[in-house]
Amino acid sequence: MRRPDPKIVRWGILIALLVAWEVVPLTGLLPELFLPRLSKTLNVLWIDLDKYWNALLVTLYEVVLAMVIACGFGILAGTTIGGIAVLRDLLLPVFSSLYAIPIVILYPIFTAWFGIGSESKIMFAGIYGFFPVMLSTAAGIRTIDPQFLLAARSMGATVFQQITKVIIPASLPTVFGGLRIGGALAIIGVVVAEMLTASAGIGYLVTLNRTILDSPRVFAGILCILVLSVAYDIIARRLERRMVVWQSAGRRQQQTSPRPVSQGAPAPAAA
């Protein structure tokens, strides 16, 4: 018997999960307090659509600014540190050591400094995303083949042309990879921060409804965040593939398997 296409199996799993979400609470296997039915969750989402929409806008606003910080500074610092040998030897090991600190413990400092509004979330999520973006960019810059620069020089490229015509295009895959990771981490950071201490945003709604034991509204929030992060991932991946058409088939394949943590790539965030 031929095995069904993995893609079909994946859709099957997704549908099964959605059905289980509806059926399991109905059968009483799990009380509705733990897992309210899907239909009920969607229903409260529909009723409170305005509220969730506004919260989502707040979250998105924070995510976008955090992304700008994480990716902007991350790529800048990563290029500098990865590209200049002295800085690399000096700082890269230090940053990898600092990476061990659970950054979430800094969040109370941020709320004390910036208040419980959007600023503290933006700063926290920005820093949360900064480190992995910086480390992966630095690692990527180092993999640029020196032969490319030699060839460009032999054809008479000036230093400026070497940067614009070789170094920048050669580092695009790394930079896009960094952008994707930085964005994902910015979402994670903002959501965590909103859940911990906030006065607005989807994470805040989840926590607020949890304390009053309104499970359907908690799950409505969870659903929003799930959709947001999966949609982000799909869009970012599409964009990345379109911008970097020239990547060889081999490299593209590598990217569809989980990043090997052992090769200096940033590990997935667990938050």
Partner 1 sequence: MKYWHIILIRAAILALVLGAWELAPRWGLVNPMLLPPLSDVLVTLQIQLARPTVQEAILITALEVIVAFIIAVPIGAAAGVAIAEFPYAGAIFKPMLFYVFSIPKSIFLPMFILIFGIGFQQKVAYAAFTTAFVVLMSATAAVESVKSDYILVARSFGATPLQILRRVYVPSMMPVLLETLRISMIFNFTGVMIAEMYASRTGIGHLISNWGENFQMPQLFAGVIMLSVVAIAFNETVRYLEARCSTWRT
Partner 2 sequence: MQYVADLNAAKTTGAAIEIDRVSHVYAGPEGGVPALSNVSMKVGAGRFIVIVGPSGCGKTSLLMMMAGLRDHTEGRIDVHGAPMPKPDPERVGVIFQEASLFPWLTTFDNIEFPLSLRGMSKDERRRKSQPMLQLVGLTGFGERYPHELSGGMKQRVSIARGLVQDPPVLLMDEPFAALDEQTRMTMGHELLRIWETTNKTVVFITHSLTEAVYLADEVYVMSPRPGRMIDHIMVDLPRPRTYEMMATDTFGRMRDRIWQQIRKSH
Binding site for partner 2 (CB under 8 A): 145, 147-148, 150-158, 161, 165-166, 169-170, 172, 244-250
Q: Which of residues 207-246 bind partner 1 (CB under 8 A)?
A: 207, 210, 215, 218, 221-222, 225-226, 229-230, 232-233, 237
Q: How far is the CB of 94 from partner 1 (least distance, A)?
A: 6
Span of 67-75, 90-98, 132-140, 147-155 interacting with partner 1 by CB under 8 A: 90-98
What's phi and psi for 140, nearest 5 deg? Answer: -70, -40
Nearest to residue 228, comparing CAs of 62, 21, 24, 15? 62
Task: Collect all residues with Cβ–Cβ distance below 8 Å to 236 and sequence separation of at least 6.
Answer: 179, 180, 183, 184
- Residue 35 interacting partner from partner 2, partner 1, none (CB closer than 5 to 8 Å by kind): partner 1
Interatomic CA distance for residues 223 and 230, integer angstroms: 11
DSSP string for residues in 87-109 = HHHHHHHHHHHHTTS-GGGGHHH
**206 touches, from partner 1, partner 2, none (C-beta below 5 to 8 Å by class):** partner 1
Token output for 197: 């201490």
Question: Which residues, numbered 92-151, are part of the site for partner 1 (CB under 8 A)?
Answer: 94, 97-109, 111-113
Q: What angle do CA 42, 48, 49 make, to 5 degrees?
A: 80
Ramachandran angles phi, psi of 262, nearest 5°: -75, -10
Pick from 189, 255, 224: nearest CA to 51:
224
Question: Which lies closer to partner 2 via its Cβ, residue 173 or residue 221?
Answer: 173
**Residue 90 binds which entry of partner 2, partner 1, none, CB below 5-8 Å type-dependent:** partner 1
**Which residues bind to partner 1, rule: CB under 8 A?**
3, 6, 9-10, 13, 33-35, 86, 89-90, 94, 97-109, 111-113, 184, 187-188, 191-192, 195-197, 203, 206-207, 210, 215, 218, 221-222, 225-226, 229-230, 232-233, 237, 256-263, 267-271
